[in-house]
Structure 1
Amino acid sequence: MKSFKKLLTSKSKTHVPESSFKFGGMASLKTLDVVPSPEEDSQKLKKAFIGLGTDEDVIIEILGHRDANQRKKIRETYHQLHNETLIDGLNKEVSGDFGKAVILWTYDPCERDARLANEALKSKKKGVKHLEIIVEMSCASSPQHLVGVRKAYCDLFNSSLEEDILVSVPMPLRKILVGLVTSYRYDKEMVDKDVARLEANRIHESIKIKELAHDDVVYILSTRNFYQLRATFECYKEKHGSPIDEDIMKSGKGDLESLLKMVVLCIDSPEKHFAQVIGTSIIGLGTDEDSLTRAIISRAEIDMMKVKSEYLNMYKSGLDDAVIGDTSGDYRKFLVTLLGGKI
């Protein structure tokens, strides 16, 4: 191990001209070229909360077109003006899937993921699906975001994320997750092909002898930068003839295999992972609203346009259409707004 080691009611609608919106990179979120002041947004939100019934359209129109920094300013200003937090105000006024989605979106992204991680760790559910959020924030987010989540977790729950994983998750899943959440990866594009080949072979040996939670595997997956790991996965396929996630699943059908496959996919192609999460949440009997909400909210400001493209490739239908067909009411309006579409 040592020698080997050397080598993340009534609605008063506000109509905004389409030309007033702008996109950011691969994000689907449409923000405004000219953004109202946080004071103006805060007053409009407060007005939407009072009177006969809540004006959900105003909530969607404002919060659904503000990025994380703009939402932060609204939260701060709302608190100063109205002597209550915006989250408390929303909690009193909105409910159901729409309420959950709006509140998650309104949180600071690090606080949101910390709360979702805590909810997952306190869950009585079996298997690994409920642990997706922990893998996503460790393997499909920036190192800075993961550090922010860990700090928010300590502030909110008076324990560390690592401690709660140790208490809540059985071995060997615990070993993998603790390795991932304690990582602080280098975030620039730096690749050593020799190391990639060596580590691809080391992972292959562990898969072959069914030691998927070997220290070397945990070390590789939890410390190498994402570019280096993608090169390792590429070397693995070139040398051994099949993708690493396929070989992982051939070695067994337990929770460990499922978790590691998720880790590999989140590192190698986050957009494919989230397209799959959305597809799984929609297709079949009933809708998994929690997973659908989390996926859209997590990626709307990052790479949702890529997720849409992957969804189309995987399911041969548009993601927006799938969401519209499987949701309803204000919940549907809000999700479609975050996807950059219109109802």
Structure 2
Amino acid sequence: MYSFLEKLGSLGSSRSETISSVSEDNNNGSMATIIVPDVVPSPVEDCQRLHKAFEGLGTDEKDLIKVLGHRNASQRKEIRETYLQLYNQSLIDALQSELSGDFRKAIVLWTMDPPERDAKLANEALKMCKKGVKYLKIIIEIACATSPDHLMAVRQAYCSLFHCSFEEDIASHVSSLPLRKLLVGLVSSYRYEREVVDLAIANSEASTLNEAIKTKKLDQDHVVWILSVRNFYQLKATFECYEKNYGNAIDKDIKSSGKGDLQNLLGAAISCIELTEKHFAVVIKESVAGLGTDEDSLTRGIVTRAEIDMVRIKEQYRLLYKGSLDADVIDDTSGDYRDFLMTLLGKGI
């Protein structure tokens, strides 16, 4: 497999090289695992079917899965709008009142508008962050594993839902100044999305990052500046220059420099930027490993990526763990929750 820099060309040039091109894969739809039928019923028909599933003595969960689990984000938006018009009730509220447990959490998150969903996940993570830095990794994912336009939409949704800015809430909940600086810097970013890479800058900033790691000064402003301002292609080139010039992957050197919360979040940011599908493969594996299941992490990993890059995540999972993501999810879940997750993974009802 060619490295990112090999795709750009030789590192041997003594002058600055800038390469600009259209992103290799602007449309990740082919990497989605949800299955949308060739002929999709009208939003009215879908709403009537959903409403019927809520009627009677018990809810028909299977019918909810068959409709919502096979509709993309724009189709789900039409369904939400139509349901409100037809029945004068929010579909989200109906799901909340009729369902329970992990299945309810999963299908409600899936049915929500994706920016609102991420805003909700971020808000919950900030409320929980005193219990551990792992919750702040959710904010890292939103900032570093989504498009600039999506991050902007999340920030707008956050203001509408919670009556304060995303950045303001981070500042009020995260007491550590270095963590606060990093998170605010990342969520405030609006990166250039097309492929533009300057190899001279990549080498220079790899050196800057190496010096910060060696001197254990990861909280310096220029570290946050590099990670939050540069486009993702530029950062991938910087990380490859780092490994080429200093012998280790940058995330490995960060881990070796200490085991604090800042190192933990920096490692998560680099993981999301460098190979997003690997990051989420690890999230899902850790959620099902051991005696219990971390349903919240499992739900987040599948629901937020099923129509983006789950095909790639499955492949990374197979490479990392020599096993099937689908099989592990089946083994660790049950009932309607399992049926719904497997539907999003392209293997359900």
SS in 2 for 1:190: strand
Task: Give the corresponding residue for 1:269.
Answer: 275
1:113 and 2:118 are equivalent in the alignment:
yes
SS in 2 for 1:242: coil
Task: State how far apart, in whole Å, the 1-side matches of 2:127 and 2:231 are.
Answer: 30
SS in 2 for 1:191: strand
Which ranges of structure 1 fall in alignment gaps of 5 or more residues? 1-22
Q: CA deviation at 1:252?
A: 0.1
Q: CA deviation at 1:286?
A: 0.6
Q: CA deviation at 1:213?
A: 1.6
Task: Give the corresponding residue for 2:234.
Answer: 228
Task: Give the corresponding residue for 2:19.
Answer: none
Offset from partner CA, 1:256-280 (integer Å, 9 cap, x none): 1110000000000110000000000
1:177 and 2:187 are equivalent in the alignment:
no
Task: State how far apart, in whole Å, the 2-side matches of 1:330 and 1:132 are.
Answer: 28
- Structure 1 segment 1-343 matched on structure 2, within 5 A: 24-123=29-128, 125-169=130-174, 170-342=176-348
Which structure has the higher relative contact order (CA within 8 Å, separation 6+)? 2
Offset from partner CA, 1:159-210 (integer Å, 9 cap, x none): 1110110011122111100000000000001100000000000000000000
TM superposition score normalised by structure 2: 0.91
Task: State how far apart, in whole Å, the 1-side matches of 2:70 and 2:302 are.
Answer: 14
Offset from partner CA, 1:222-246 (integer Å, 9 cap, x none): 0100000000000000000000000
Offset from partner CA, 1:289-316 (integer Å, 9 cap, x none): 0000001011101000000001111111
Task: State how far apart, in whole Å, the 1-side matches of 2:84 and 2:284 are.
Answer: 34
After TM superposition, where is structure 1 displaced by more than 6 Å over at least 4 residues in a row?
none
Task: State how far apart, in whole Å, the 2-side matches of 1:293 and 1:342 are.
Answer: 15
Which ranges of structure 2 fall in alignment gaps of 5 or more residues? 1-27
Task: State how far apart, in whole Å, the 2-side matches of 1:287 and 1:342 are.
Answer: 20
Task: Give the corresponding residue for 2:22.
Answer: none
Task: Give the corresponding residue for 1:17.
Answer: none
Task: State how far apart, in whole Å, the 2-side matches of 1:270 and 1:124 are.
Answer: 23
Q: CA deviation at 1:60?
A: 0.3
Task: Give the corresponding residue for 2:23.
Answer: none
TM superposition score normalised by structure 1: 0.92
Offset from partner CA, 1:95-123 (integer Å, 9 cap, x none): 10000000000000000000010011112
SS in 1 for 2:36: strand
Q: CA deviation at 1:124?
A: 5.4
Task: State how far apart, in whole Å, the 2-side matches of 1:73 and 1:98 are.
Answer: 22
SS in 2 for 1:25: helix
Task: Give the corresponding residue for 1:4.
Answer: none
Percentage of pairs with the same residue: 62
SS in 1 for 2:265: helix
Task: State how far apart, in whole Å, the 1-side matches of 2:248 and 2:191 are.
Answer: 27
- Residues 31 and 308 of structure 2 are in contact (CA less than 8 Å); yes or no, is this contact kept in structure 1? yes
CA RMSD of aligned residues (A): 1.0
